[in-house]
Each structure stands twice: as C-alpha cells, then as structure tokens.
Chain A
Amino acid sequence: MPETADKALSSEVAELLRTVQQYRQRIQADLHEQVVAAIYAHAEQIAARAVCSSVGPKRPTLDQKIDRIVTSRLWGFPIMFALFALMFWITISGSNVPSAFLAEWLVERGHPWLRDLTLAWGWPDWLRGLTIDGMYLATAWVVSVMLPPMAIFFPLFTLLEDLGYLPRVAFNLDALFRKAGAHGKQAMSLMMGFGCNAAGVVSTRIIDSPRERLIAILTNNFSVCNGRWPTQFLMATLFVGALVPAPWSSLAAAGAVTGVALLGVLMTFVVSWALSRTVLKGQPSAFSLELPPYRPPRVWQTLYTSLLDRTIFVLWRAVVFALPAGALIWLSANVHIGNDTLAAHLVRTLDPVAIWVGLNGVILLAYVLAIPANEIVIPTILMLTVVVTGQPEAGAGAGVLFEVEDQNVLRTLLVQGGWTTLTGLNLMLFSLLHNPCSTTLYTIYKETGSWRWTLWAALLPTAIGLSICFLTTCLYRACT
C-alpha cells in the first residue's frame, strides 16, 4: 500500500514539475521582477500613510556628518588604523600590572604551596609532577598571561562593535575587496574572524555566491583570532617594545601588533585576488551594505557580556586544552629515550627546519601541540624552552615551569634559550600565518562539505607563513 501511494505521489510530482515547465516557457515577462516591483510599490504606499515626519527638509544628521569623516577617502583609513592602534596600546599598557600580579599569586606563590601540600599528603613523585608541575602550572600560565589582555581587549572591541563602527570599516574595505575580485560582505566575516575564525567562517553565509563565499572562507584565517592575540601582545611587548626606550615601549609594541593585524588584512586581499584569478575565477557580485545608525553602547552590559561570553569563554577553552598539554609536556620532559628526554629529541629533530625560517624547534613543536587551540602556544613555548635549555635556576626541575617575577625575567629566559628579535618577530608572523585550529578546520569542512577545500585552508596559510618567515630571516641575516 505505501509503495503504490509513493508511486502515485511521484507521478503527480512529475506532472507538477512538467506543468511548471510548460507555464514558464509560455510566460514571457520576468515574473520575479514583477513580484519585486509590486512589493516595493505596496510597501511605499503603506509606509507613506503610516509615517509622518515632523522635521522639515532633511538636514545632514550627526550620523551622516560622522560617516562623511570616518568613511572619507582621505581620513577613513588613518582613523581606522589609529582606533585599532589605540585599542592595542590600551591593552598592552594596561595588562602589565595585573599580569604580574596574577603570575605572582598563581605561579610564584600558588605553585610551591601546592607542591608542599601534596608533599605533605605523600603523593608519589610522578603524580605530583604530572598534576602540579605539568597541568597546574600550564593552566596557571594561561590564566596569568591571557586573562588581563583579554579582559581589556574584548570589552573594547565589543564597545566598538556596539557603537556601529564595524560596518564603516566594511564600507572602507569594500572597494579593495571588489578590486581583489571578492565580495564586499567579506569585510564582515573578516571582522568576525578577529574574534574567532570558526565564527568568521560561519558568518560567510551572508555571501550568496558560492565562489565568493569560498574565497571568504579560505582567507578568514588571516584575521588574528582570540587565541592568537596573546601571542601577539606578549611577543610585541618582549621583543619589539624592548627595542626602544622605556617610555615608548608600549607604543612601539602597539604599533607592531597593529602592523601584524594589517598584514593579515593585506594578505586577505592578496590571497583573495590570487584565488579569484586562478582556481576561483569569476566576477564580483553587487550588493548593498547598510550603515546602521550609531547607537550609544550600553557600557555596563557590554562589559558584562563581553567578559562572560568572550573572555571567560576563551580562557576556559585555553584551560581545557592547557590541562592535557601541560601533562604531555611534563611527560615528554621526563620520559627518557637514550640519554635525552623525548622533548629534547623532538625539538632537535625540528630545529634544522626551524632555523631556516628564523624560528626554533620549540616553536614548531608548540604549534604541532597547539593544533586544537592556538591559545596554548605561549604556555607551551615557555614550558618547552625551560625543558630544553635546562635552566634549573629558573625552574624547579625537569618539565617544571619557571617562576617569573616580571617580563624582564621572561625575556632573559627566552634569550638564554637562543631567542633573538628575529625569533620574536617571526613568531608574530607565523602566529598570523599558519594553519587554522582544528575547530576552524572542522567548521570549514562542515560549511564547504569538501576535504579538498579544507586541505587548501590548512596548507595555503602555512605555506605563505613559512615563505614569509624565510624571507624575513634572509633579510635579517643580510642586515646583521
């Protein structure tokens, strides 16, 4: 019985489709156009009856006056750079003090206290090493390095977003996107990517042409995401800020972070351009972008939600990944193969490759470990550096993260580990230009439904990153 019903249904469906086909051939005019025209005429009529404006002929409103400046050819870009640089500067100069405070309590005091406590409880060495020296310390590091900059940066960014500035940025970038053969709405997914690339990839759904959407998906990784901001802030503070006299150091650091973020935007254009001329050929489609009215942000609510939704969310993600990573690092530093630890073997294997691109084996290993989340790159690098360079005076044994009082110690430690300004700079570049995290890759797979494009999304930025790091290394070595 169901079978015959199915058959009857499918024959009816076929007939329906045939009828549609017949009528469509007979109808000459563009029905779609007609329907749209009818809707518009109707809406205009109804709106005219319902809305009455008490103000006379339109004068330019304050919004329009502001828009004329922030989207002008002359001032649009400088204002944009200045705003972002200001945001980075506030973040960098504001997070030093709380970072040091957290490090003191969580790492310097908390860690020995926990060690003593577990000693008193009579925990075996391996258990204490794994949990306290590995997991706890990695997590404590994540919190003290990441929490302050995130707690400052995210609310600032959210305020800017609530104000309505982001569509203006999109407006400014639109012409460039068109020149690159991409969709202007890609500016929106790019902005979204500054928060989280996975979210940025999902937000490309506002682009209706599949070709342009793919371009937006493949290039979203060039927006520095939540997980990568801490790397940028720390490296800029340690290595770029140190190049100039103290009063100017946070300014220089902010400049460096702005530079990297801009390089990301530049890469977005370059790669979009290259893609739209090679594998994803086609014409950019037209669209309209609405500039919403500026709305005074509700400051307290913004602070509250951005702290809860973004800061705590990112921190939580970092902690969740840092716990097993901390354990892994401790294990790799305490499992011996031959005369050396596993970590030392791995780092030594990667070193020759890394030297070519001005990085080191520690950084590359950290990026392999950090595929699930960019957030743990910095803690991993710090822990591995201690493990490999074996600086017992800074740490408290193999695989134990050192205790630092301030960032000078941190810098000294990295320099002892063989770091130069080039290493710091290249880490900033590589952090911008490498494969997306596994969450983003999975999102790309879900959105594109294709392993091929997912692979592209992973390999393209990594290849670019390695080449650019190679170039800067050659330049640096030629100059010094």
Chain B
Amino acid sequence: MSDPTSMLRTGPAVATLPCEACSIYRSAQLKKLGVRIDRADHVVALAGNPNTGKSTLFNTLTGLRQHTGNWPGKTVTRAEGAFAFNGRRYRLVDLPGTYSLLSTSPDEQVARDFLLFAQPDVTVVVADATRLERNLNLTLQVLEITNRVVLCVNLMDEAQRHGLVVDTRQLGRDLGIPVVGTAARRGQGLSELLHAIEDVATRRVQCQPIRLPEPPPALRQAIQDLVQQLHRIYPDLPNARWVAMRLLAGDESILNAIRTGELAAVTGLSTGTTKAETRASHETARPDDSHA
C-alpha cells in the first residue's frame, strides 16, 4: 500500500496476457447499461470544468445520449447512467461543470453537495489537457474533499495539435492519484481510464493525494478544534478538515447544512455506499486476477 508506484498502476501494469494489454480486448469488457442504475457495486462521479468533455465521456460509457454542446453551462443538473466493466456494475453521475467548488451558484452547489454528502466511491475529474493549470485548480479542491480521485486528462488530441505534451506520469506522482490521458471523442484511453476507476473503486490502488500547504499557525489551532468537534458530532464525516476550513471562511451553505441537520442526515446515508462496497468485495476474484 505504501509503495508509491502502486497508485500509478493503470491498465497496462495490471494486465498480464497479451490479449489483456490490447485496448480492443479491454474495451470489449465495457457494457453500456444506459439508465439501469440499480444494483450498482460502485458510484462514480464525473466532475470537472465546463466544456472538458464530461458529457461526451458520460455518453460513451453509459450509451446514453445526454445532450452535449460546445459551450460552458450546458449541464446544470446531474445526469445518471450506468455501465459494467469486468463484471462490476457502476452508477455514473455526471455533475455540472464548474470552475471551483467554493462559490454559491446553484450548479456549483449541486456538484459540491454530491461530492461532500453522497461520497461517491470514485470521483473522476475530467480536465482539459490544453488548459491544465486552470483545471488543476478544481482538481485540488476536489482532492480536499475526497481521496478517491482519478484524474482524466481529456482532449489529449487537441493538446497534441497545439504542440502540447502532458506528462501524465509526472502529474500522477505530484497529485498522488491515478492520472489517465484520454481523447474521449475518439474513444482513446478509455480502457485505461476504466481500469483506473476499477483500481480505485476496489481499493487495489490507494490514493495518497497531496494536500494544500499547512494553514498559518494562527489557523491551525482553530481547524484542529473544529475538526475534533465535527468528528464528535458526525463520526462518519470523511472530510472534516475541509468542512472546518469552509466554516472558518464563513460558507453559508455549509453552516446551513449543519443548522438544518442536513449534514447529519447525509453522513448517516453514507453507510449505504459502504454496504455496496462490502457486497462488491465479497464477490469472487476477477478472472484476470487468477492469471496474475
């Protein structure tokens, strides 16, 4: 688990037979389930800036035809679909595209509340390879909320055309999560992405994401204090530090969630996801595990 390379293992490293290294073989493992989101083993959220191809990816994986458009603000509510890969069923939630998770517009709240309260098993942050720096802003914010993240650097074909080379390995090492380069419109890199999702969902790969630098000492005491209190009230809250930071920044919607008891309600709900996970882990080993 502590082996730093283990978290970078994506598809090719896991596969052992020649067939399994071939993307055609692996893509064939994908079953598009459309809207049949019942009996899902894992919940996967798609987050990312507007216009990075989230909806395209969502459509490719689920076989649904969620309308895509080349402009920011196309998706403002969340769409849900499902797919199966390697015998596991995944519920895929397409969140509205946002530049940050810190403001109060309704579309950003939809995205943030889902990550914070519904606690998906894997969050795939879809980033635009041609505008990586700005997309990393959101990625870092997501990493503050949840550990289990896969970064999908999409639009690699466009980046190539602009003469940009994105080193996904370096990114993976810096961020401490699996990073996969894709060109979703052409279906490139999808099998690697699916494997990365599977690895994180089954906890075969442990993410050790970087955190923002330590807050100034004046704040450290405050955060520690609040985290302790939060843990006492909401034992299941996995991102107490982030919640504490938001409380100190005077985030009205988080304050409200505490006042109305919403936070208590949703942290209680999170056990539902855990049940799904336990069921999944009791399943028999995957076929290609036996080859390994």
Q: Which chain A residues have a beta carbon within 8 Å of chain B's beta carbons?
A: 9, 12-13, 15-17, 19-20, 23-24, 26-27, 29, 31-32, 34-36, 38-40, 42-44, 46-55, 61, 161-164, 166-167, 170, 185, 188, 191, 202-203, 205-208, 289-290, 292-295, 298, 305, 308-309
Contacts and interface: CB of A to CB of B under 8 A. Distances in A.
8 contacts: A19-B229, A24-B248, A35-B249, A43-B137, A50-B166, A52-B165, A167-B70, A205-B107
Given A46-B136, A46-B171, A208-B105, A164 B250 contact: no
A293 B163 CA distance: 15
B132 A47 contact: yes
Nearest to A202: B76
Contact of B247 (A20, A164, A202): A20
Contact of B163 (A40, A50, A55, A294): A55
Interface of B: 50-51, 65, 67-73, 76-77, 96, 100, 102-108, 110, 130, 132-134, 136-137, 139-141, 158, 162-168, 170-171, 174-175, 185, 210, 212-213, 215-216, 218-219, 222, 225-226, 229-230, 232-233, 245, 247-250, 255, 258-259, 264
Contacts of B255: 17, 20
A50 B164 contact: no
B167 A15 contact: no
A305 B67 CA distance: 8
Given A16-B226, A31-B245, A166-B71, A39 B132 contact: no
A52 B163 CA distance: 9
Given A27-B222, A43-B137, A164 B162 contact: no
Given A52-B164, A208-B104, A16 B230 contact: yes
B167 A50 contact: yes
A163 B164 CA distance: 22
A162 B105 contact: no
Residue among B100, B104, B158, B174 having the largest count of chain A Cβ atoms under 10 Å: B174
Given A27-B219, A205-B77, A206-B72, 14 more contacts: A27-B248, A39-B212, A42-B140, A42-B213, A44-B133, A161-B69, A162-B70, A164-B71, A167-B71, A170-B71, A206-B73, A292-B70, A292-B72, A294-B70
A363 B147 CA distance: 61
Given A35-B249, A161-B70, A202-B77, A43 B226 contact: no
A54 B258 contact: no
A442 to B, nearest CB: 16
Contacts of A35: 102, 212, 245, 249
Nearest to A54: B163
Residue among B51, B100, B158, B215 having the largest count of chain A Cβ atoms under 10 Å: B51
Q: What DSSP secondary structure best describes chain A's contact surface?
A: helix
Given A46-B175, A47-B133, A52-B165, A290 B50 contact: yes
Contact of B72 (A36, A47, A48, A290): A290
Contacts of A48: 133
A188 B71 contact: yes
B165 A51 contact: yes
Nearest to A169: B71
A368 to B, nearest CB: 32
A207 B107 CA distance: 9
A208 B76 contact: no
B264 to A, nearest CB: 7
Contacts of A208: 103-106, 108
Given A31-B245, A162-B70, A53 B163 contact: yes
A315 B248 CA distance: 53
Given A24-B248, A31-B245, A32-B250, A293 B158 contact: yes
B76 A47 contact: no
B164 A53 contact: yes
A143 B154 CA distance: 41
Contacts of A298: 185
Residue among B70, B164, B170, B247 having the largest count of chain A Cβ atoms under 10 Å: B70
Nearest to B210: A42
B136 A43 contact: yes
Q: Identify the 8 closest CB pairs spanning chains A and B, nearest first.
A: A208-B105, A47-B133, A55-B163, A43-B136, A164-B70, A206-B73, A205-B106, A23-B222
Contact of B225 (A23, A39, A205, A308): A23
A20 B76 contact: no
Contacts of B65: 305, 308-309
A206 B105 contact: yes
A105 to B, nearest CB: 30
Contacts of B137: 39-40, 43
B271 to A, nearest CB: 17
Contacts of A55: 162-163
